[in-house]
Chain A
């Protein structure tokens, strides 16, 4: 059916565009631009979508990324809750909150020292990097402790280099207890993942 020289009677056989052809092309370009912008927005929405975690016993609530796996603490665990990005390989980016009871005269540095001692025993190649005072979004004074360690291999059969994990603890003293918000990420992607921790801290209430 294609022997019909369809263009022979059409104005487009002349080398100029009709208004209809010109505007169709313009609209196509506009639609593409709008669709790509919508794609960026969708990505932002998906990446920043969060769910509420609330623990009525401890009074702690915060929001964590929607697609992360949530684990509530039990009597045997040392955390109130933990959320992990199961898609992050080889080390699952982790956000967690734990509570340590403290004495009336304890300072934040006592808690930091306790955490350092515990982690030096349990984490391979534990290295404390810095301790700095910070202020949380609700105005509370807190202390941030940055450290690194080598994560154990997820698959002992595979021969691979150890994973260097960059981590941060933010310690807040409140009502006779230390609330410790922890962030752990593969050191190679820590800058890309840091925003999760920042958002997590902004929404942390206790």
Chain B
């Protein structure tokens, strides 16, 4: 018999661990509920064309604007509480992001930069860079700063924690943008529902990019330029989505009519989710697999 000690093979789980909340699954469930809700609102407003007054529209708008936050609390936060090892300080991230967005993000973008006022007639490329360098970079940096300085140091335990906290921050940031829109614009409930869903989904999708790199920064040794580059890329995607959404407000000209296509704006946000979620998931799984094969882990 050999006297060499037997090596324990590390457990190789194939799915997200049941110890932690399954981030992608709860996010997908939230998104599905959100889209079903939007679909129902569109259907109801088409079947029952009710005329609402200004105050009623505002109240409905605010209710719709905070509904993604409510969905997150019902689905993700509830699942988090039921997990064996819940992520801590998620509510802190939500609260700090709400404060940062409302106290810094919205005033900085809407009042100081006011990109809508000077980009309205600009060409497409200028609009893309204009929104990237103002609204995009502000949103991404504030979400990054909240996570980096509140939970990153003490609460990150696995890579996907970056995505989980980023999604919380994204939902909160989107809620502030949506509430401001609902309070400042008097629009039909269907239009607000489409916008709320579009903003929420785009924030969720783009937010996972910084979430991934925050996880990498914590658990790997990425080159120092990856985090700022990913912030710039996320801001660029924010700018791109804003330009696309704006271009769909008047979506079609023809000899007989012009058409508004806000539903295609929501389609762009769904496209972002469908594109970014699998990529980030793949990157996280690959990084975990690499780490499992590393000598440091096997030692």
Contacts and interface: CB of A to CB of B under 8 A. Distances in A.
> Are A and B bound to each other?
yes
B129 A28 contact: no
A126 B119 CA distance: 34
Interface string A1-14: 11111110110100
Nearest to A28: B228
| Interface SS of chain B | helix
Interface stretch (B134-142, B201-209, B254-262): B134-142
Contact of B17 (A3, A30, A32, A46): A3
B130 A42 contact: yes
Contacts of B122: 46, 67
B20 interface: yes
A42 B137 contact: no
Contacts of A24: 217, 222, 224-228
Given A24-B226, A25-B227, A39 B130 contact: yes
B134 A39 contact: yes
B193 interface: no
| Interface SS of chain A | helix
B232 A9 contact: no
B247 interface: no
Contact of A10 (B11, B15, B218): B218
Contact size range, B: 35 or more
A36 interface: yes
A87 B158 CA distance: 50
Contacts of B185: none
Contact of B221 (A5, A20, A28, A47): A20
Interface residues of A, number: 35
B280 to A, nearest CB: 12
Interface of B: 11, 13-17, 19-20, 23, 113, 115, 117-122, 126, 129-130, 132-134, 137-138, 141, 144, 148, 153-154, 156-160, 215, 217-222, 224-228, 231-232, 235, 284-285, 288-289, 291-292, 296-297
12 contacts: A1-B16, A2-B158, A3-B17, A12-B218, A24-B224, A27-B224, A28-B231, A29-B141, A32-B231, A39-B113, A39-B134, A42-B133
Given A24-B217, A40-B113, A46-B119, 10 more contacts: A1-B14, A2-B20, A2-B159, A2-B288, A7-B219, A28-B141, A35-B132, A39-B133, A46-B122, A46-B126
Interface of A: 1-7, 9-10, 12, 15, 18, 20-21, 23-25, 27-32, 35-36, 38-40, 42-43, 46-47, 67, 86-87
